[in-house]
A and B are shown apart, each in its own frame.
Chain A
Amino acid sequence: MPLRLLLQLSWRNLWRYRRRNLMLFTAILVAIAACVLLGSLIRGMQNDMMKDAVENLSGNLKVLAPGYREDPSIERAFPLHDGYRPDIPDDEMIGWTRRVRVPAVVTSERETRGISLVGIDPAEERAISFLAQVGVRGEALTDGGDDRILLGAELAARLDTAVGRRVVVMTQGADGRNREAGFRIAGLYDAPGTALEKSYAFTGIRPLQKLLGTNDVTEVSVRLRDDRFSASANRALTTEMNGLEVLNWRQLDPQAAAFYEIADVGITIWYVILLLALAFGLINSLITAVLERVREFGMLRALGMRPRVIVAQVVIESVLIVAFALAGGIVVGLGLVALFADGIDLSNYAAGAELAGMRSRLVPHLVMRDVISLAVLAFALAVLASAYPAWRAVRIKPLDALRR
C-alpha cells in the first residue's frame, strides 16, 4: 500500500474523532510548549553561570605557572615578552590580557582585610571581564601605569573608607620579603552580589610589578568568542607556553562546571517526565480508536489488507497527532520565550540565586539542540505509545470482528 494512501487514511481517521483528538493535541501542545520554555530557562541559567565563571577573571582559558593555584604567590610568576600575543585567530578570540594577581592585606585607618590584589591593563581587561559591566563610583583606572587602586564597594564599606582616601597594601615581593605601599582609592566598583567586591582590588599592572620587584606576570587570560574554540586554543597556548599550565574555566571553577553539567541532565529528566505524563492519555486515546474500529479493521483484513499495514495505520495516526502538536507546541513555546525575553525577575531570591550561580534576572536562552532532542523524544513517545494499540489491532480476527 503506498504511503500516501496510508497517510490519507490515517489523517481522515483523526478527523472522525476530532473532539477527542483535539484534547489530546492540546495536552501535547501544552506539554511541548512548557518543555521549550523550561528548557530555555534552564539554558539561560546555564549561560549566566558560564558567563559569570568566565568573567570572574578566569576567562575561557588561563595560563598559570604550575603550582600557582595551590600557592598563589609572586614566586610562581612567569616572564612574558613585550610583544607577546596568543596564537589564536581573531575570529575566535574576543580578547586576552596579562595580569599579576597576588594575595595582599589592605589596611585603612580603621580596619584590615585580606584580598586578592590584581594588577591589570584596564583597556584589555574591560574587553574580557566583569569590570566592563560594573558601575564605578569615583573613577575607573585609566591605564596599566595607573598607580591608584580600585576597590569593591562592599570591601570599602568594611574598611570604612571612601574614594580619594588612602589605604596601605602589604604583600610579599618577588624576593620573598614583605612590601608595603600606600594607594589612593580611584573608585569603588559595584558588582552583582558581594563576593567579588569583597575579594578583588585592582591597580595598574606596571606599578604593581614595580612594587613586587619583577617584570613577570602570574597569569594570561583569554576570552573566546565561543567555548567550542576552547580545545584548539588550548593546544595553541600549550605549545607556545612551554612548561606552563593551560586551564579552561571548568578546571578553574569546578563547582560552576558541575552545576553546568547537572543542568544538562535536569533538562532531559524534565522532558522525560512531562512526556511520560502524556503517555497515559495518548495510549488511552489510541486504544479507544482501535476498539471503536474493530469491525472496520476486521473488514479490511477480510478484504486482504496486510497486518503490517494495519500496524502502520495506528502508528501513523499516533505520529501524526504528536507531529502536529509538536509543531504547534514549538511555535507556542517560541512565543513564550519571546514573551519572557526581558527575563524573569528573581531579585527576591537574589542571594540564593547568586549561590546557584544565577543572576537576579533569568533570561531564557533557546538552544536548537534541545528543541531537536525534544522532537526526537516526542516521536519516540508517539511510536512507543502506539505499540500496544497496534498489537491489539493486529490481533483482531476478521471473522469474529465481522460477526459483531
Chain B
Amino acid sequence: MPRESATAGIVPPGTRVQRARGVGLNAALAWRNLWRNRLRTTLTAGGIAFAVMLIVAAYSLQGGAMDAMADQATQLLTGHLQVQNAAYADDPSLRNLVTDATAVARALQSIPGVTAVSQRAMGFALVSVGERSYGAQVMGIDPQLEPAVSSLATLVVKGRYIVGPGDALLGSVIARNLGIGVGDEFVLLGSKLDGSVAALSLRVCGIVESGSAELDRALVQIQLAAFQEEFGLGDQVHMVVARVADFEHVGAALPQVDAAIARLGTGSVVLPWQRLMPEVAQTMQLKRASSLVMLSLVAVLVTFSIFNSFMMTVFERTREFGMLLAIGMRPAGIIGVLQIEAAWLALLGAAIGLVIGGAVMTATHHVGIPLGQMAGELARRFHLPDRIYPPLNTSAMLIAPLLMLLATQLAALIPALRIRTLVPVAALRVGA
C-alpha cells in the first residue's frame, strides 16, 4: 500500500490530491482484502478466466472457420462479386446476357481494390460419346484470366488446363460416366441464341476434381471465344466475375462498383457473394447466433458463481463492516471498496484468461487445425479447406474482459447493497 503519494511533495496540498490518495488507498485495500481468502479468490478468478478463455477461443475458431468457408466457397467459382444481367439470377438462361461486357470488365478493373476480373458464358448442353449422352453445365472461360478468380485451374487432377479453342476441361464424374479420359474426343450439342443447333467437337484436355459433387457431375469448361462463337453470343457474356484484395472488404468496394456499373447503363446488376451464395452467408449467421446463445450461457453460469462468492464474502465480513460503520465510514465507502475488489477480481481473471486463451489460439493459428482429417466429408460440404489457421480474434479479447468486468460488478453490487441496511451494533455482535 503506497503510504505517500509520489506527488505529495511537489503538488501543493489540495482536494484533488487528497481524493487521488483516497482512491489509491481504497484500491490497495481492496487488493489486500481480495487475498485474505486466497483460495476463494483464485477459484473465482479461475471461473472468470475460464469464461474469457472460452469466448476468445470460440470466437477465434469460429471466425477462422467462417472466413475459411466463405473464402474457399468464393474461390472455387463464384468470386467475390459478379455483374450479371438483372434477370439472370432468377432465370439463368442463355438469353439473359451482359451486353458490352468488355466495358463492364474495364470498369471493374479500374476500381481500386479489385484484383482480378474475368468474363464467363454459361449454358446447358448435351455431351455425347457414341451412344452415351449426359446433360452438362458448359462454361466458356478465358484461360488467361480465369485462374485469377477461380481455383478450378489448380484442381486439375489429370491432363492440363485449357489452352486452345478445341480443349475441354471435364468434371471427374461426368468424364467417368461418359467413359472418356484425357485426349478423347466428344461432341457437345446445344441450342444457339437464335434457337438453331450448336454442335462442337472437343477434346478432353484435363479432368478436374472440385470437391463439389454437383460440379464434378456436370461441369464442362471450354474456351470463352469458342463458346461465344458456337452459341452465337457475339462478344456478350453471362457474368463478369471479380475478386477484391481481401474478401472482408467486398462490402466496402460495393458502392463504387455499383456506381461504375450504373454509369454504363447496360441494365446489368452487381451481386456480392452473399447474394450469389445465400446458403453460405446464412450458415455463417446461423452459427453466429447459436454460439452467441451458448457463450452467454457460460457467462451467466460464471456470473452465478461470482455472485455466490461475493455473497459469502459479505456475510463473513459482517462484523468488520459493522466496525467500519461504527468508526464513521459511510456505507457508500464500503460498497465502493467491495466494487473495487470485484474489479480487481475481474481484471485478474481476465488477465489469466487472456494470457492462456491468447497463447493457445496463437499457437493454433501457427500450427493450424487439420479439419480435413477430422471431418473430410463435412469440410467439403461446407467449403472448408483441409487445414484452417484461425487468427486470434482481437475484438473478442477486448469484449470478453469487458463483459466479465460488467458481470462481476453486478454480481458484487447485489450482496454489497445489504451494507446500506446494516446496523453497526447488531453487525458487531455477529459471530462474536
Chain-A contact segment, one of B21-29, B81-89, B233-241, B282-290 = B282-290
A51 interface residue (CB < 8 Å to B): no
Which of these, A273, A282, A285, contacts B54 with CB under 8 Å? A273
Q: Least Cβ distance of B278 to chain A in Å?
A: 4
Identify the closest chain A residue to B304 (Cβ).
Answer: A27
Given A258-B375, A355-B381: A114 in contact with B218 (beta carbons within 8 A): yes
Number of A-B contacts (CB under 8 A): 164
**Set of chain A residues within 8 Å of B312, measured between Cβ atoms:** 20, 284-285, 288
Shortest beta-carbon distance, B386 to chain A, in Å? 15
Most buried by A among B126, B133, B218, B305: B305
Known: A20-B311, A255-B381. A356 touches B286 (CB 8 A): yes
Cβ A346 vs Cβ B286 within 8 A:
yes
| B254-289 with Cβ < 8 A to chain A | 278-286, 289
B123 and chain A: residue at smallest CB distance: A112
Per the bound structure, the CA–CA distance linking A24 and B297 in Å amounts to 15
Which residues of chain B have C-beta atoms less than 8 A from A110's C-beta?
93
Task: Please tell me the number of chain A residues within 8 Å of chain B, measured between CB atoms.
Answer: 61
CB-CB under 8 A from A158, the residues of chain B are 91-93
In the bound assembly, the distance between CA atoms of A282 and B46 in angstroms comes to 12
A84 at the interface (CB under 8 A from B): no
Chain B interface SS verdict (over half): helix
**Are the CB atoms of A277 and B284 closer together than 8 Å?**
no
A353, B282: Cβ atoms under 8 Å? yes
Contacts of A284 in B (CB 8 A): 39-40, 43-44, 305, 308-309, 312
Which of B176, B289, B308, B377 is close to A255, meaning CB atoms less than 8 Å apart? B377
Contacts of B278 in A (CB 8 A): 351-352
> Which residues from A are CB-within-8-Å of B301?
27, 30-31, 274, 277-278, 281
Question: B122-143 toward A: CB 8 Å interface, digit per residue (1/0)?
Answer: 0011100001111110000000
Q: Are A280 and B47 in contact (CB under 8 A)?
A: yes
User: Smallest distance from the beta carbon of A295 to chain B beta carbons, Å?
Assistant: 12
Please provide the chain A residues from 338 to 370 with a CB less than 8 Å away from any CB of chain B in the complex. 346, 348-356
Query: Do A352 and B281 touch across chains, with their CB atoms under 8 A apart?
Result: yes
* B33: Cβ under 8 A from any A Cβ: no
B378 interfacial contact with A, CB 8 Å? yes
Are A178 and B131 within 8 A (Cβ)? yes
A142 an interface residue at 8 Å Cβ cutoff?
A: no
- Does the CB pair B283–A352 fall under 8 Å? yes
Task: Give 7 closest A-B pairs by Cβ, nearest first.
Answer: A114-B135, A281-B305, A352-B282, A280-B47, A27-B304, A352-B283, A258-B377
> Could you name 20 residue pairs across A and B whose Cβ atoms are closer than 8 Å?
A20-B312, A27-B301, A103-B134, A105-B135, A110-B93, A113-B124, A157-B91, A158-B91, A158-B92, A178-B133, A258-B377, A273-B54, A277-B305, A278-B305, A280-B43, A284-B308, A284-B312, A350-B282, A355-B280, A355-B381
A-to-B contact residues, CB < 8 Å: 19-20, 23-24, 26-27, 30-31, 34, 38, 70-73, 103-105, 110-115, 157-158, 160, 170, 172, 176-178, 254-255, 257-259, 262, 270, 273-274, 276-278, 280-285, 287-288, 346, 348-356
Given A176-B131, A283-B43, A346-B286: 19 more A-B contacts, CB < 8 Å: A31-B297, A103-B135, A115-B135, A157-B91, A170-B133, A255-B380, A262-B375, A273-B298, A280-B43, A281-B301, A281-B308, A284-B44, A287-B43, A288-B40, A351-B282, A352-B279, A352-B286, A353-B282, A355-B382
